Amino acid sequence: MFTIQIHFNIPCDVEANGEIRMNRTLLTNMMIVLLLSASLAGCTGDDEKESLIQTGSSTVLPLAVAWAEEYEGADVSVSGGGSSHGINALLNGEADLGDASRLMKGKDYTKVNCDESGVRSDGTASEECMGVMPTKWVVAFDVLAVITHPSNDFASTLTYDQLYSIFTDDNPAVYWDDVAGLEGAPHEEIQIYAPDEASGTFDYFFEEIIEDWGDETQVAGTRLESGDGVYHPSADDNVIMTAIQSNEYAIGFLGFAYVRENADKVNTVSIDDGSGAVEPSLETVADYPMARPLHIYTDANAANSDAVNGYLSFALSDEGQAVCDEVGYVKVELVDANLLSLQRAALA
């Protein structure tokens, strides 16, 4: 910002009655210059920053907040709401960046009256929807953690079959001692606190434990769909965390970043998908069965694509990826260095 100082020496006439009369032309010019200087004084000398809207996955939210705070190339407004909300907001032109902890699916297109065949199985788009051409970017990796009350000493390791028994509507376990192979489990009712159906975390978890999840041949539904009142859904990860801390026989699942912040308040469960039990951590991401990519979707047709791509370039830069470590996620390079290089090249 800069300031202009202007000094005027204005000729005046003195009337016979002693009143002072300024030269009208000079007075008018003075007012014009004053208005101009006031306008210039409000300038900073820099171009006005572009405003971007980023919304969606609660799992991506901590990363998005950190990136928005550090990025100086645009003013980025960040909010959560779930992966479905983020993708929907992008397709409806309400957001520039849609965060998702799952892949975009055909159902995301059908929600806004587009053809579901326009979405490929890998979460990329083969055709536009509502004039938007979604582009998928992998910006980090996350570990999904199953958690229990800190006093739980009987479910420190769970297999996929045991998770299926607890979380699906296929002859579900009502009491902990109904779960096959769980030695020392009490005859106490299971209570589930976990993400709701709009969450990408919800989709990812059930895609892991239910065969053919999302297809017509899907072998079971979720415990939430059973309507037995055992599954308590929430879009707020803090609500889920607090509920599990307060309920001795509760179980749930969340992104690891939230769990790490509360590591002394809950137990994390080691997961065995048939290859041996692995504890969730940033160090075990290569072997842990419930590790997943985190995405940002953008519109390739956007008029402000330069601003959007500038922000993405920062998120995928060494500086931006260092934020992953700070927040509790895994850098793309540690899982797939080639993917990181390809994405950087696409943005160059």
179 and 198 together in one domain: yes
Which of 233, 253, 278 is at the close of a domain? 278
119 and 215 together in one domain: no
* In-domain check, residue 93: yes
88 and 214 together in one domain: no
Distance CA 286, CA 67 (A): 25
Per the structure, the count of domains in the chain is: 3
What is the pLDDT tens value at each position of the chain, 348 positions in all? Answer: 222 333 334 444 444 444 444 444 443 444 433 444 444 444 444 457 899 999 999 989 999 999 999 999 999 999 999 999 999 999 999 999 999 999 999 999 999 999 999 999 999 999 999 999 999 999 999 899 999 999 999 999 999 999 999 999 999 999 999 999 999 999 999 999 999 998 889 999 999 999 999 888 999 999 999 999 999 999 999 999 999 999 999 999 998 888 988 889 999 999 999 999 999 988 888 889 999 899 999 999 999 999 999 999 999 999 999 999 888 899 999 889 999 999 999 999
Regarding pTM above 0.75, the answer is no
162 and 126 together in one domain: no
Q: Which residues contact 39 (CB under 8 A, 6 or more apart)?
A: none
* In-domain check, residue 45: no
18 and 116 together in one domain: no
135 and 149 together in one domain: no
211 and 84 together in one domain: no
Read off the CATH number of the domain in which 166 is found.
3.40.190.10
Which of 278, 312, 337 is at the close of a domain? 278
Structural domain boundaries enclosing 97: 50-141+294-347
Which of 251, 278, 305 is at the close of a domain? 278
* In-domain check, residue 287: no
* In-domain check, residue 83: yes
* In-domain check, residue 55: yes
Q: Which residues contact 82 (CB under 8 A, 6 or more apart)?
A: 56, 57, 58, 195, 196, 198, 199, 200, 235
125 and 13 together in one domain: no
Q: Which residues contact 59 (CB under 8 A, 6 or more apart)?
A: 101, 142, 199, 200, 201, 237, 255, 257, 294
Name residue 104's amino acid. M
149 and 198 together in one domain: yes
154 and 251 together in one domain: yes
137 and 160 together in one domain: no
Task: Write out the H or E segment, with its range, that includes residue 232.
Answer: strand 231-234
